[in-house]
Amino acid sequence: MKQVCVLGCGRLGQIVAGALAEGRLPGVELAGVFGRSPHRRREVAGRLGCACGDSLDALLSLRPDYVVEAANGQVLREAAVPVLAAGADLIVLSTGVFSDPYFSAQVRDAAQRYDRRVHLAAGVAAGFDLMRAARLMGPVEVTFTKQKPASASGHGDPALRSLDDRLSTTAGEAWRRFPDHMNVGVTVALATAGTEDTRVLVEPGEPLRFTTELSGAFGRASLVTELSTEGPELAAWSALAVLERLTSRICF
């Protein structure tokens, strides 16, 4: 039985931990959770019947096989190397921080040193198998577009209102300006043309929609995810999909 710990007790972390506690993935068990809020992490651990880590070190003392990061970029910066050093593989939702070349190199070096792996979850984007195959086939041109409700409309997730209604730049610059809103764009860029050669557009509109336009020697592809009100929770399930692939004998 593979042991999994969840780092982050917010909306996404609770979805991941809850699914594991329910036994949604055969052969995988929730070992413990850790979050910055003592009250919340104790409530989540008590409700799900798992250990509550009062610190990252306490969580890692449970000796998990995998740690799922479902917190934020700052937590990931602090936790990535210690997780790998503790002998666990890391599954990441706050993928945008890998746009930082120094952090990316630091994590890559640690993964090599401790013979561990880091898995970037797809979040709400579609078609990463196609993107990676196209990139291996040859150079690709990529534009990632995020359509969101206009800030003045009062619709959609209030957190999105801090993101400009219109933006046209590179994935790297978009992340530097709006680090809380560019995880998906950076993940697409890392899988394809790189953060400085992938265009990112933000446009006003409803519903919340993510579109990746990809072209290369293979031809052209348009990959679209249009989210319902519960759609952002798909990011948590993408981390669970990574776990399912890693623990299945036959996998996609």
> Each residue of 34-91: pLDDT tens digit?
999 999 999 999 999 999 999 999 999 999 999 999 999 999 999 999 999 999 999 9
**In terms of pLDDT, which residue wins out, 9 or 251?**
9
Identity (one letter) of the amino acid at 239? Answer: A
**Residues 223, 228, 229, 233, CA torsion sign:** negative
Q: Report the distance separating Cα 162 and Cα 164, nearest Å.
A: 6
> What's the confidence (pLDDT) of residue 141?
98
Chain segment 128-164, per-residue pLDDT in tens: 999 999 999 999 999 999 999 886 665 556 666 778 8
> What's the confidence (pLDDT) of residue 105?
98
Q: Is a pLDDT exceeding 60 seen at residue 239?
A: yes
Give the CATH number of domain 128-226; options: 3.90.1150.10, 3.30.450.20, 3.10.290.10, 3.30.360.10: 3.30.360.10
Give the CATH number of domain 2-123+234-247; options: 3.40.50.1010, 3.40.50.720, 1.10.3720.10, 3.40.50.11540: 3.40.50.720
> What's the confidence (pLDDT) of residue 252?
85
Q: Report the distance separating Cα 121 and Cα 30, nearest Å.
A: 18
Average confidence score pLDDT of the chain: 95
Domain with CATH 3.40.50.720 in the chain: 2-123+234-247
> What's the confidence (pLDDT) of residue 173?
95
> What's the confidence (pLDDT) of residue 158?
63
SS3 content of the chain, % helix, strand, coil (to 5): 45, 25, 30
> What's the confidence (pLDDT) of residue 150?
83
> What's the confidence (pLDDT) of residue 162?
76
Q: 58: Cβ–Cβ under 8 A, 6 or more apart, which residues?
A: 34
Percentage of the chain exceeding pLDDT 70: 96
Among 59, 214, 201, 190, CA closest to 130: 214
Domain with CATH 3.30.360.10 in the chain: 128-226
> What's the confidence (pLDDT) of residue 164?
87
Give the count of beta carbons closer than 10 Å to the beta carbon of residue 225. Answer: 18
Task: Please say whether the beta carbons of 128 and 192 come within 8 A.
Answer: no
Task: Please say whether the beta carbons of 91 and 239 come within 8 A.
Answer: yes
Q: Report the distance separating Cα 161 and Cα 151, nearest Å.
A: 5
Among 58, 47, 39, 37, CA closest to 17: 47
